[in-house]
Amino acid sequence: MASTAFPSRDDFAALLNESLGGEGESFEGRVVKGTVTAIENDLAVIDVGLKSEGRVPLREFAAPGQKADLKVGDEVEVYVDRVENVHGEAMLSRDRARREAAWDKLEAEFSETARVEGVIFGRVKGGFTVDLGGAVAFLPGSQVDIRPVRDVTPLMDIPQPFQILKMDRRRGNIVVSRRAILEETRAEQRSGLIQTLAEGQVIEGVVKNITDYGAFVDLGGIDGLLHVTDLSYKRINHPSEMINIGDTVKVQIIRINRETQRISLGMKQLESDPWDGASAKYPVGAKLSGRVTNITEYGAFVELEPGIEGLVHVSEMSWTKKNVHPGKIVSTSQEVEVIILEVDEDKRRISLGLKQAITNPWEAFAAAHPIGSVVEGEVKNATEFGLFIGLDGDVDGMVHMSDIAWGISGEDALNLHRKGEAVQAIVLDVDAEKERISLGMKQLEKGAPAIGGASATSGSNLNKNAVVTVTVLEIRDGGLEVQAGDDGATGFIKRTDLGRDRDEQRPERYQVGQKFDAMVTGFDRSKKPTFSVKAMQIAEEKQAVAQYGSSDSGASLGDILGEALKARTEEKK
């Protein structure tokens, strides 16, 4: 024993152990039984057989959320932390006693994967605290229920079963789950209930949850999925358009997967199918009114009646608007008239035509503008092969490069016109089936051949190398101004083209009004024809040689030309 005049706490403990015969040291760190000798304010005075009594707060004897039910004379178990403190009292703890006893029990239950009973009594970050008969466990928020729970107040301070997921006594950590218990119980209920259900059965349920793709319906312990496509035959964008959480609905069981315990439900199956007899209700060619319900890249869906929709493909939307988004032609909820193009009752598809419900603009154009009619329009576009002209009825006609102007190349003719220019043209052909209108511009020129090939005045073609009869209009030093036929196209004959011989190349040999034959040799930039007597003579000579003689026939050129002229004179007569 220490001999110091001022003994320390350890010295007091040694003196106590000596007085107790060494038993005091064995009390510390143990759970012992004691008797309540008094209750002072919020403390219970407990005698555990030591020289001094200990005081324990009454709250340590109460369950979470309840008051302590303790009175003098009650026997309780406490944990001896120290035999004597600085005040000479025993340091006792009811919580430590309960915790030690609870850990022993929980370790045994955890090894057997048994359920334990606990009470949720507090909130912490990420979850809640649970009292397991003295030991405090952590309940993660994700393990409270099968589905997320917004308010756990109704679950607090109520004894309920939990499953221990993890425990470490050295660190004092215990993790529990309430969800595991619910899932196990639910699986047992589902397994029993699913055996009583059959495909095709009609049953009532309560809507528990609604998502974008459908609703979950509680069938009395087991949930079934009511997909949005099985709510109604008509188009439904979101399930909330028809049902709400808490509604009692009548559904039909469509499919049951007993292995995964998944149930598919339907409501529209309890209604009559509008597609029954659709072919008879919607004959091909019938004209009907409908409402646009949805617009996609490839077309628009039109509701003909609740539950029946048809597709207007983008190619069937407009006669004239090509390669445009359907949303630029129609809008959602718009009432439109359509024509039934095809009905496939088995595949539940109807093909509709929007443009067929209005007059074909090409057919209307052909009726209003027969071949040979003169039309006016604006140059919409110039391509490498012609001009596109905007016409009445929002249709385009094309002037091929060869039909733009006489006497010049197609490339040069294209350069004569610009986009936006107003022009006139004549209708050459209309193919309503292929949606094509062929136009000509050169056919409107004075003296041009009429549609069909002949000149409107002279009866001969003003094509290059054609021989026509011309009339002298004016005599000039450089040549003659002539006119094809009586009132055909006017052109010019150069002095050098009036004949092969120099003596024939004198303009003064001719008189105004005199008629003679000449060959069309081309057209100038102003689209006027050019003529030549010389070219005609050379061509006739070549033709005569080929027809009436050859280089080894022995006939002279005069004989050959004589025969040719004689034949031509007779032909004219």
In a domain, 188, yes or no: no
494 and 568 housed in the same domain: yes
pLDDT digits (tens, 9 = 90+) for 535-566: 998 988 888 777 655 544 445 555 555 555 55
Token pair recorded at residue 415? 């350069």
Q: Do 512 and 419 reside in the same domain of the chain?
A: no
* CATH number of the structural domain spanning residue 32: 2.40.50.140
Whether 275 is in a domain gets the answer no
Based on the fold, state whether residues 568 and 463 are members of the same structural domain: yes
191: in domain: no
In the chain, % of residues over pLDDT 90: 21
The answer to whether residues 297 and 400 belong to one domain is: no
Residue reference for tokens 């607090």: 156
Q: Which domain holds residue 343?
A: 283-355
| pLDDT higher than threshold 90 for residue 352 | yes
Residue 257 binned pLDDT confidence (cut-offs 50, 70, 90):
confident
Tell me whether residue 278 is in a domain: no
Same domain, 79 and 126: no
Q: Is residue 506 part of a domain?
A: yes
CA distances from 542 to 262, 539, 560, 564, 565 (A): 97, 5, 10, 11, 13
Q: How far, in Å, CA of 118 to CA of 77, rounded?
A: 20
- Neighbour-count burial for 541-571, b at 16+ CB within 10 Å, e otherwise: eeebbeebbeeeeeeeeeebbeebeeeeeee
pLDDT at residue 469 greater than cutoff 80: yes
Please write the tens of the pLDDT for every residue from 385-422.
889 999 988 888 999 888 888 767 777 788 888 888 89
In a domain, 157, yes or no: yes
In a shared domain, residues 315 and 348? yes
pTM: 0.44
Per residue in 29-58, pLDDT tens? 677 778 878 887 778 787 777 766 777 777
Question: Residue 410 domain-assigned?
Answer: yes
Give the chain's domain count. 6
Whether residue 443 is predicted with pLDDT greater than 90 in this model: the reply is no
Last residue of a domain, one of 390, 411, 444: 444
If you average pLDDT over every residue of the chain, what do you get? 81
Residue 450 lies in a domain: no
Q: Count of CB atoms within 10 A of residue 68's CB?
A: 16
Report pLDDT digits (tens) over 321-343.
888 899 999 999 899 999 999 99
Are residues 162 and 116 in contact, defined by beta-carbon separation less than 8 angstroms? yes
**Whether 255 and 297 share a structural domain:** no
Picking from 270, 294, 316, the residue at the C-terminal end of a domain is: 270
Tens-place pLDDT, residues 135-187: 889 999 999 988 888 888 888 888 999 999 998 888 888 899 999 888 888 77
- Whether residues 468 and 558 share a domain: the answer is yes
Lowest-pLDDT range, 76-80, 280-284, 523-527?
Answer: 523-527
Shared domain for 119 and 165, answered yes or no, is: yes
Judgement on whether residues 173 and 236 belong to the same structural domain of the protein: no
Residues 24 and 74 in one domain: yes
DSSP 210-245: E-SSEEEEE-SSSEEEEEGGGT-SS--S-GGGT--T
* Domain boundary residue, one of 97, 121, 149: 97
| Strand order through the sheet with 91-93 | 54-57, 43-47, 31-40, 75-82, 91-93
Is the CB of residue 282 less than 8 Å from the CB of residue 343? yes
- What is the tens place of the pLDDT at every residue in 58-71? 777 776 666 777 77
Domain match, 205 and 220 both: yes
